[in-house]
Amino acid sequence: MDEVFSTGVLLKKIKKERKFFQLIRTRDKNIIEKWRKERNLNKREVYIYDIGGKYDWEKNEFDHHQIGGADKRENGIEYSSAGLIWKHFGLDLVGEKYIWEKIDKEFVVAIDAIDNGQEIVEKKYGFKMFDLNDLLNLYFPKKRSENKMKKSFLRAVKLVQFILERKIKKAQKNLEDIQKLKEIYQNSKDKRFLVVEDEKISTSLITDLFPDVLFVVKKQKDDVWYIQTIRVKKDEFLRRKYLPKDWGGLEGKELDKVTGLDGGIFCHRALFVASAKTKDVAVEMVKIVLKK
């Protein structure tokens, strides 16, 4: 996965610069030395990554298998070639530090950890989620002839490039949503809840933006208004404040009986989300919770 991601990023960089490129996959030390000489003698732009035994970004060498590795992050995760290449070229490709950091944190760090044999997720229940590494391994056949391996590798690179493009677009949208949420927050009289009328805005961003927001009232499709509780941490289920226990699992008239309102649709039995027929009813439901 390390080599696949690295190739995807470098191809994106080279194509952006409208340069000719040649991709060579080898572990032959003589071939590696040949291309080092080509770089030095003919001033060619040569990138040697995941092989070669050197990390020297000024010479475009990005290996991490040498004794001592190739540096590590502040959190202790060692860099693989993927992380090194993203570190030096990613920001220029995406143009925004927020996007570069988001992709690094949500995508590249895991690649680095896997390739360096470091655990980053606690296996609490004794099974493992199907991840990107598992998906990429499906691309490679059991009978690995050189021709089949080349085709499989290029297909895997295209998949990673697609994922990377989608993550970049998502991060760009997040930047736009952050600005919109900040405006909504500034205009809210009670900062403990926000009313978001645009269903396309990602309210999951609120956890990191506003520590005092407890609920969001948000319009969804078919004019249904949802009351969303806010996570304590974005990667954990725990909420800052839950809906009342006596609302849990109730629907329609049964829910209205306990709220004293008219227009409730349901409240999840885990007390993290509820819905109503109108914005006004949803807001009133939130106000009831805030008084408790």
Identify the pLDDT of residue 126.
66
Q: What is the pLDDT of residues 251-265, one digit of tens each?
A: 999 999 999 999 999
Instruction: Collect the ranges in the chain with pLDDT lower than 50.
Output: none
pLDDT for 175 equals 94
What per-residue confidence (pLDDT) applies to 273?
Answer: 96
Cα–Cα separations (whole angstroms), residue 167 to 201, 219, 224: 16, 25, 29
What residue segments make up the domains of the chain, in order of their start? 2-173, 188-291
Q: What is the pLDDT of residue 145?
A: 72
Predicted model pTM: 0.76
DSSP string over the chain? -HHHHHHHHHHHHHHHTT----------HHHHHHHHHHHHHH-----EESSSS-EEGGGTEE---STTBTBB-TTSPBP-HHHHHHHHHHHHHH--HHHHHHHIIIIIHHHHHHHTT---S--SSS-----HHHHHHTTS-SS--HHHHHHHHHHHHHHHHHHHHHHHHHHHHHHHHHHHHHHHHHT-SSTTEEEE--TTS-GGGHHHH-TT--EEEEE-GGG-EEEEEPBSSTTS--BSSPPPGGGTT-BHHHHHHHHT-S-EEEE-TTSSEEEESSHHHHHHHHHHHHH-
Tell me the per-residue pLDDT of 180-201, one tens digit each, with 9 for 90 and over: 999 999 999 999 999 999 999 9
Rounded mean pLDDT of the chain?
A: 90
